[in-house]
Amino acid sequence: MAGYDVVTFGETMIRFSTAPGERLETATTVEIGIGGAESNVAVALARLGRRVAWASVLPRNPFGARIAGELRRHGVDTTHIHWVDQGRAGVYYLDTGAAPRPTQVLYDRAGSAIAVCNPEDIDPALATRGRLLHLTGITPALSPSCAEITRRLLTAGTAAGIPVSIDVNYRSRLWTPKAAAETLAPLCSEATILFCGRNDAGTLWGLSGSDEEVARGLAERFDPAVTVLTAGADGALALTRDGTIYREPAVPVDVIDRVGAGDAFAAGFLHGYLDGDVALGLRLGVRLAALKMTVRGDLAVLSDDDIAACLADAGSSHTIVR
C-alpha cells in the first residue's frame, strides 16, 4: 500500500523579497521565505490534508534547516531529504513590482547542493511509495545529475504503474527553448497528467491557436491521460484521452503575489484527480490559484476555513483530515 498520496522531488530556494514600493537596489530590509515549484505543490496538498513526501538535497546549515523546517511545519514529510555537509542552498531575490513596473526575479542558484549532487543520492524507489509522482520541467534544467534523478524517478514510477504528473514550467533563465523541448519531450511522453502553460506550449513546441487547439496539439504529441492547459486570466482547460474537454474560467482576484499560483493550481487539480474527478480538480485548481495570489510568499498558506470554503465552492465533498 502506498505510504503517501503524492511524492515529489526538486529544489527549494531561500527567497529574499522587497516590500511593495521598495527596490533591491536601495532596500535596507528584505522578507525571508522559501520557494520551489515542487515544494509549493507539496505544501498546498498537505494543507488540503494529503500525505505528501518531498525529496531533495540540502546543506547542513541554517538555510537548509530553514527550508526543511518550514516544509515540515506545513505537514510535508521531509525524511527523504539527502543532507550534505558541504554546499549551499539556492537563493532567489524578488524585486517586488506594482503596475506598470513588473516584478523582477534574480536567481543565485548555480552550484547549489542539489545541482551538484550524485544521482545515487536519491533512491528512485521513492517514486513507488506514493499514489502519484509529481515532477516539473525545472529540475532537469538544474544540472545533468538532476535530469538523471528525474529520469530515474519517472522510470521507477511508470514501471510500478504509478501515475505521473509533469508540469512543464519552462524557465528561460535556466535553459533555451530548444534544450528544454528536447529534454522534456521524452518525460512528457511518459506523463499521466501533463500540465503546460499556453505560452510554454508555444515557446517550446510552436503550438498556437485557441486553447482547445493548443491542448489537442499537446495531447497528440505526448498522449497523456489528461492534458491540462493553463491560460492565466483566461482560466484553464483539461482534455482527457477520450476527447472530453473541461473548461474553467479564472476567479477574479486582487493580486498580492503571483508567485506560486501555478503550483497552487497544480495542487488543486491533483487533489481532485486523486478523488477521481477531473472536473473537480480543474474547479479547485483555479480557486486555489486565486487564493494563493492573495498571500505573500511562494507558499499557499491558507487556513482550514479558506480551504473548506474553496472546496465547497468547487463542489467537493472531501473533508480535510490532519
Q: Annotated active-site positions, please?
A: 263
In 3D space, the residue among 41, 106, 108 whose CA is nearest the CA of residue 74 turns out to be 41
Omega cis (within 30) before 140:
no
DSSP state of 194: E
Q: The C-alpha cell of 21 is what?
A: 514600493
- Residue 134 in contact with residue 7, Cβ under 8 Å? yes
How far is Cα 109 from Cα 11, in angstroms, rounded to an integer? 9
How far is Cα 19 from Cα 300, in angstroms, rounded to an integer? 18
Side-by-side strand order, sheet with 31-35: 31-35, 13-17, 91-95, 104-108
What 3-state DSSP class applies to 211?
A: helix
* Radius of gyration (C-alpha) of the chain in whole angstroms: 18
